[in-house]
Amino acid sequence: MSKSDRASKEARPLALSQRLAQIIASSKTERLTFTDLAAQLHSRAWGGLLFIFAAINVLPLPPGTSVFFALPLIIVSAQMVVGRASPWFPAWINRRGVRKNELERLIAKIEGVEGRIERVLKPRLATLTGPTATRIIGIVCLLLALLAAIPIPLFHMAPAAAILLFGLALIYRDGALVIAAAVASVLSLAVDALLVGSGVAALSYASSWLHR
């Protein structure tokens, strides 16, 4: 292995699934508060929390629950905007936290994909994941999280997918992925606009049919 290859390997952060597995193994309780989880994610707390919460929101959710599941994303991204050094959560959310078995299920879902992701993602374009850029990412993620909170079926999925990409970009310090996530953000707006437009058109058609 060349010197440059060794340096690149050392610069690459530990895979999120591996870090979560370490956190589970070292925890003496069955439930971790979000504050504890953030503290153990260290410098990748912002990206890790965005990824974890966005991964939940990417899945189809029961009608009316999108507000609840988007709330942690709103809290995290808002704190990124103001430049907090570490995440903070209200006591009632913090106590809920996350169970070990919930983290284990997340690990099972992402560890197979991570092997392929790691071949592509790497630290680059450092300015796009630096402190100033992180605050701008926070603004975009906050807007996307507010969009994901709108209680329209499936409305949350596209914004959450874009936030998930931003989370990965911060975890792997990959500025190129930040650019891809920004594009995905614009596309998510288009997808949701199409979803709303289709819904309005369907309601209009149904209304006109009923009044015949």
**Looking at residue 3, what is its pLDDT?**
47
Cβ neighbour number for residue 57 with a 10 Å cutoff: 23
pTM above 0.85, yes or no: no
- Where exactly are the structural domains of the chain? 13-210
Between 212 and 162, the higher pLDDT residue: 162
Cβ neighbourhood burial of 53 (10 Å; 0-12, 13-18, 19+): buried
Segment 175-200 mean pLDDT: 84
Q: What's residue 12's pLDDT?
A: 57
pLDDT recorded at residue 1: 45
E strands, 12-165, are: 31-32, 98-99
Look at residue 88 and tell me whether its pLDDT is greater than 60: yes
**6-15, 72-81, 126-135: which range is least confident on average?**
6-15
Q: What are the tens digits of pLDDT across the range 155-166?
A: 888 999 999 999
Report long-range pairs for 179-184 (Cβ below 8 Å, ≥24 apart). Answer: 179/125, 179/128, 181/137, 182/140
Nearest Cα neighbor of 144 from 129, 131, 153, 157 is 157
* Short-list 207, 199, 88, 121, CA closest to 153: 199
Q: Which of 138, 49, 59, 145 is nearest to 97 (CA)?
A: 49
